[in-house]
Amino acid sequence: MSRSSRLIQEGQASFRVDGAFYRAKSAIARDLAILAAAVYRQRRGQLRVLDAMTGCGVRPLRYVLEAGADWVWANEGNPDQAELLAQNLAVLPPDTYRITHQDAHQVFFSCYQDRDFYDLVDIDNFGGPAPFASTGLWATRLGGLLYLTNTDGRSTSGHDLGRSLQVYGAGVRSHPAVHEQGLRLLLGHGAQIAAARRLGLEPVFSLFTGQVHRVMVRLVRKPTLTPKNYGFLAYCHSCGHFQTVGWGKLSRVTCPCQTQSQAAPTVVLSGPLWLGPLHDPETLKAMASLADTWDWPSQANLLRVMQQEATLPPYYYPLGDIGRRGQMDIPNRDRLMAALQAHGHQAAPTHCDRQAIKTDAPWADCLAVAKALGKGRG
Ligand SMILES: C[S@@+](CC[C@H](N)C(=O)[O-])C[C@H]1O[C@@H](n2cnc3c(N)ncnc32)[C@H](O)[C@@H]1O
Ligand SMILES: [Zn+2]
């Protein structure tokens, strides 16, 4: 949090922060939301945004000035920010916004009551997504977007089993791909609460910023959750192998390393969580091309990494683990991906960890390819 009365510039927005919440480091989460909103506006011909926890109002400014929003409702629960927010948003045309100071749940339910549904509902909460994801659905129009947040790393990284059960109804364990696990818990949570209301959520993009997990999802009429895309992730602490586990196999989880060793492998299970695509590649493509047009090279690069990882298996292998378990130098990421592809596997970087790769190659094959590469035979 920063306290400052100087003018801050982010994108096309100029604003003051004073005592309100603002993290310059979260700009990338705002940039991607603006791109997704602008693509939505191009496709649907309208964009009405509900920013449920607006802080100093940087998002409403950017949604109107950059994404071309026709209307933004800026809500901030803390009434002490009223004057600051009014001053910051005063640059917008008066008929494009509204400011309120209510509890977010109250806002969502009043939208439902008034049949006033939004094209994009942005919920930038502290902590886990519950219960805001559930109530935010009441304010989102069918086909519209919902932007969910988790800032509680402990509940998604396997360090607080009780909390992950309470928030996500999921038993979560620690392993090397926990950053992606956080995104998949958020997607699974959203898909499950939507399905309970006979609705569906489709991922648009999923973003891990280093501390915060954010997912932009599209609300659709039919439930998207199935036993196939909502299941379990198994990790073997003995050898490093990941695998997905369906509901019918829960009592029979083994690891390929079992045949090579007398000792039973230590396999841990996380879930249920979302096992389907992490992003919608079509929308990412449109967002990346808009980022090019706007001369946003780092955002365009990130979106292209996301495009590559969108449909790969729901985990990644850190290069450090490959080196350590293979008792060799840490392999070069791009050379390892090229070698895996030459062996007929899919391989891509992951935006969650620059020092890791995603691949459909089983762990043992990945290790063998990395070893051969180390010996100059890759
Ligand atoms: C993470 S900050 C928002 C930051 C802002 N969206 C941005 O991008 O800079 C969360 C904000 O939500 C407000 N807030 C917390 N709980 C709320 C609730 N239940 N209803 C409405 N606002 C709430 C807090 O006062 C805080 O300003
Ligand atoms: Zn194993």
Compute CA distances 172 → 132, 206, 271, 317, 372, whole Å. Answer: 21, 19, 6, 18, 34
Atom of ligand 1 nearest to the CA of 29: 8
DSSP string, 258-297: GGG-SSPP-EEEEEEEE-S-SS-HHHHHHHHHHHHHTT-H
Q: Which of 181, 200, 220 is the last residue of a domain?
A: 220
Q: Which of 201, 220, 239 is the last residue of a domain?
A: 220
At residue 136, the 3 state secondary structure works out as: helix
Give me the helices (H) in 99-176, please.
Answer: 104-113, 132-136, 153-156, 161-168
Q: At what angle are helices 27-44 and 297-309 packed, to 10 degrees? A: 80
Q: Is 15 in the pocket of ligand 1 (CB under 6 A)?
A: no
Which of 119, 165, 126, 114 lies closest to 140 in space, CA to CA?
A: 119
Q: Are residues 215 and 338 in the same domain?
A: no
329: DSSP letter: P
Give the C-alpha separation, 261 to 40, whole Å: 53
**CATH number of the domain bearing residue 78:** 3.40.50.150
Q: Is 21 in the pocket of ligand 1 (CB under 6 A)?
A: yes
Atom of ligand 1 nearest to the CA of 103: 20
Distance 247 CA to ligand 1 centre (A): 37
Q: Are residues 180 and 64 in the same domain?
A: yes
Residue 264 lies in a domain: no
Residue 285 lies in a domain: no
pLDDT at 2: 45
Compute CA distances 48 → 76, 120, 141, 180, 279, whole Å. Answer: 17, 7, 10, 30, 23
Q: Is 22 in the pocket of ligand 1 (CB under 6 A)?
A: yes
pLDDT at 375: 83
Residue 278 lies in a domain: no
- Whether the upstream peptide bond of residue 313 has omega within 30° of 0, thus cis, is no
Residue 246 lies in a domain: no
Give the C-alpha separation, 275 to 175, whole Å: 16
pLDDT at 260: 66
Can you give the residue range of the structural domain that contains 141? 8-220
Mutate which of 125, 135, 147, 211 to test ligand 1's pocket (most atoms within 8 Å of Cβ)?
125
The answer to whether residues 64 and 38 touch, using CB atoms and an 8 Å cutoff, is no
Beta-ladder partners of 171: 271
235: DSSP letter: E
Q: Which of 220, 251, 283 is the last residue of a domain?
A: 220
Give the C-alpha separation, 118 to 23, whole Å: 25
**CATH number of the domain bearing residue 350:** 3.30.56.70
Q: Is 132 in the pocket of ligand 1 (CB under 6 A)?
A: no
3-state SS of 7-55 is CEEECCEEECCECCCCCHHHHHHHHHHHHHHHHHHHHHCCCEEEECCCC
Residue 243 neighbours by CB under 8 Å, 6+ apart: 233, 234, 253, 255
pLDDT at 261: 64
Residue 160 lies in a domain: yes
Q: Are residues 171 and 53 in the same domain?
A: yes
**Residue with the nearest Cα to atom 17 of ligand 1?**
77
Q: Are residues 362 and 216 in the same domain?
A: no
Residue 350 lies in a domain: yes
pLDDT beneath 50: ranges in the chain: 1-3, 378
H or E element that contains 86: helix 82-89
Q: Are residues 28 and 174 in the same domain?
A: yes
Q: Are residues 24 and 145 in the same domain?
A: yes
Instruction: Give the type of residue at 327.
Output: Q
Residue 245 lies in a domain: no
Residue 41 lies in a domain: yes
Beta-ladder partners of 343: none
Which of 321, 135, 308, 149 lies closest to 238 in space, CA to CA?
A: 321
Query: What pTM was estimated for this model as a whole?
Result: 0.96
pLDDT at 3: 47
Q: How many domains does the chain have?
A: 2
Q: Are residues 67 and 199 in the same domain?
A: yes
What are the structure tokens assigned to 369, written together? 């390819």
Beta-ladder partners of 99: 74
Beta-ladder partners of 255: none
